[in-house]
Structures are given as structure tokens and as C-alpha cells.
Amino acid sequence: MEVLPAVIAVVVLAFTYRPFRLTPLLYLLILLHCIILMVGGHYTYAEVPLFDDLKEVFGFTRNNYDKLGHIAQGFVPALVAREILIRKQVINGAAWRTFFIVSVCLAISAFYEIIEWWVALATGDNAEAFLALQGYTWDTQSDMWFAVVGAVAGLLLLSRVHDRQLADIEH
């Protein structure tokens, strides 16, 4: 289940490659996000070995690999949404565009948390590996927060690089 979003992304990218080719930056970020999802799916998010080691080094009480996944859940979709909004000229003002991009990322994260809840209801005791709560009461809220932080970080760190690649597409 953790890998399903990566599979869906590959299918969507295959169908949209010719009619709406994305910037190289986005293809790289989507690949990195897919790798994060696949590693989480392979080990389960609560048991990724490197993050077990980091847990000991930094004194964390839990394996925080899922938080990396939620940062990526905001970071990558923010740039995807940005590219679509700019290229389709949906919103012209940068401030409004940023507001909508962060809102879309928060909506995606909230919907993912709802899916996790549905899976938990459907699977009962077996949901712990998928949810990766690890006893953290505020896991759902912090997951959404990390997605918002990822979205804002993506926009702040990569908008200029993204703009240069968008300019190359237009010419």
C-alpha cells in the first residue's frame, strides 16, 4: 500500500509525457519521492534501518522515516502544482499561486491521512505497520505539518531553478 502512490505516479507520467512534458527538475524530484515511498514500503516506515540508527544518535523515541516521507509529500507536489499553475496560467499572481499551492499540498496530505484512517478501520490490528504511529498521539497532525513545511521549503528553495527550466520549455 505504501508503494501505490509511486505506481500511480509512473502511470500518470507515462500518459502525460508527450502532451505535457514536465521540467527535468520535476522528473528528478518525482523519482526521489518514489524512492522514498519504495524504501518505506520495503521496510515499513517505522523500521527503516538508517533511521533506526539516527534514532539512537539523536535520542529520538521513534523512527522518523515517515516524517521524511511527509516532507516529500509536500515538497514534490508543491513543484508539480506550481508547474501546472504557471504553464496553464491558472493563477497569475505569485502570492495567490503560493497560497493555492500550499493549500493543495495540505489537502493532499489531509486526504492521505483520511486514507490511512480508512485502512486502519478496514484492517484493525494490522494497521500499525501502515500507519507508523509508533505510539505518537499527534502523528496525523504532525504528518500534515511536515507536508506543509515541505511545500514551503520546496517553493523557497527551488522556485528560481524551476523558473529557469520553465523558461526553457517556453522557448
Residuewise pLDDT in 10s, the chain (171 residues): 788 889 999 999 999 999 999 999 999 999 999 999 999 999 988 889 999 888 889 988 888 899 999 999 999 999 999 999 999 999 989 999 999 999 999 999 999 989 888 888 888 766 665 555 566 778 889 999 999 999 999 999 999 999 999 999 876
Tell me the three cell numbers of residue 77: 507536489
The pTM (predicted TM-score) of the whole model is: 0.89
